[in-house]
Amino acid sequence: MSELDELRTTAEALKASIGEVVVGQERVVGEVLCALLSGGHVPLEGVPGVAKTLLARTLSASLGLRFKRVQFTPDLMPADVVGTQVFDLNEGRFHLEKGPVFTQVLLADEINRTPPKTQAALLEAMQERQVTIDGTSHALPSPFFVVATQNPLDHEGTYPLPEAQLDRFLMKVVVDYPSEREELEVYRRFLDGRLELDVLDRVERVTGPGLPAMRAALSQVHVEDKVVAWVRALVGLTRQSRRLAIGASPRAGMALLGAARAHAALDGRAFVTPDDVKRMAPPVLRHRLLTTPDAELDGHDADKVLAGLLDSLDVPR
């Protein structure tokens, strides 16, 4: 079995394990796995009660990774996230009291409810995989994966994430309501006790080549020059669109190529197609594009503008 075959087999086992706890949400699970394999981070945006937190906890349990959750509130301080130096009276010296960021899967719950100073505490961690405390850098565990959540409707008392922080997220994943069939299954599981609090203790850990090996296997997925040029053309159009005040950067283009690679690998292919790019473009680019006031008045959000740009591009053959 090739490394790519092992990657896909392990990913399918992960999806099955997560599906034992999280009902439906196949698109969301697929996008989160693409971000994880690509080495990026994700914010999950959706109304309360659609299994955002449960998905993050189940993913970490399925992979056997350490998990910590931080409830972001207006009074949360940076030291509450990264940690601080504490003086030990008995030993007569300072020692590092590590914060919850020293984990492998960090759930930043309702990240937009904390002030920018505390939000910025995650910037170095997300980009450099390290934190600086009192002038000393401390490496974070590997892998390090941030899953943030935010409510798209309740904006009272929130602090919108600045563009610099949004750009640190590889994807922005929108979590919708479940379908009627999926919601009925949730109710059935609730009634027969399968949604008990200790359900995560019964999650079966998925064995496989391991996350570092899975990430390394992505290098075997070929991207033709014409697909790279097509991505560049799409990124360029976002900078020219009259409906967008801010377009996509080169970092966004690289993120899109990486996510398309992961999507192709999960689909069982060793090459990227334009369809992989189209599929990954919305979650990778939507939070990096800023629509103009006129576009918003016309009912165009980033997803709609992006869909129009994709339709206007000739697909490479």
pLDDT score recorded for residue 155? 62
Instruction: Quick: pLDDT tens for 34-76.
Output: 999 999 999 999 888 888 988 999 999 888 889 999 998 888 8
The helix-helix angle for 250-266 and 274-285 (nearest 10°) equals 130
Which CA distances in Å does 48 have to 159, 180, 202? 18, 18, 24
**pLDDT category, 238, cuts 50, 70, 90?**
very high
Span 67-88, average pLDDT: 85
Q: Comparing 67-71, 198-202, 243-247, which segment has the lowest mean pLDDT? A: 198-202
The superfamily CATH assigns to domain 3-202 is P-loop containing nucleotide triphosphate hydrolases (3.40.50.300)
**In the prediction, which pLDDT does 156 show?**
65
Report the percentage of the chain scoring pLDDT > 90. 38
281 close to 35: Cβ distance less than 8 angstroms: no
The residue-averaged pLDDT of 305-310 equals 91
**Both tokens of residue 230?**
């097509």
Give me the chain's average pLDDT, please: 87
pLDDT bracket for residue 277 (50, 70, 90): very high
What is the rounded CA–CA span in Å between residue 253 and residue 258? 9
Class of CATH domain 221-312: mainly alpha
What mean pLDDT do residues 254-268 have? Answer: 94
pLDDT above 80: residue 157: no
With bands split at pLDDT 50, 70 and 90, how would you rate the model's confidence at 3?
confident
- What would the mean pLDDT of 279-284 be, rounded to a whole number? 95
Domain-wise residue ranges, the chain: 3-202, 221-312
207 vs 295 pLDDT, higher one: 295
| Contacts of range 264-268, beta carbons closer than 8 Å, 24 or more positions apart | 264/221, 265/4, 265/7, 265/8, 265/11, 265/37, 265/217, 265/218, 265/221, 266/7, 266/8, 266/11, 266/30, 266/33, 266/34, 266/37, 267/8, 268/4, 268/5, 268/8
pLDDT of residue 198: 65
* pLDDT given at position 296: 84
Show the DSSP H helices in the chain as ranges. Answer: 3-19, 26-37, 52-63, 78-82, 116-119, 121-128, 163-166, 180-191, 211-217, 225-240, 250-266, 274-285, 293-297, 302-312
d(CA 302, CA 238): 10
Query: Using an 8 Å Cβ cutoff, are 105 and 65 in contact?
Result: yes
Nearest to 54 by CA among 72, 77, 29, 79: 29
Cα–Cα–Cα angle for 274, 277, 280, rounded to 5 degrees = 150
Contacts with 128 (C-beta within 8 Å, 6 or more apart), sequence order: none
Check pLDDT > 90 for residue 181. yes
3 state DSSP class of 268: coil
**pLDDT of 313:** 87
Query: Residue 123: which pLDDT band, with cuts at 50, 70 and 90?
Result: confident
Query: Which has more confidence, 293 or 208?
Result: 293
SS3 of residue 130 by DSSP: strand
pLDDT at 88 over 80: no
Rounded to a whole number of angstroms, the distance between the first and last alpha carbons of the chain is 30
pLDDT surpasses 90 at 315: no
- What is the reported pLDDT for 272? 95
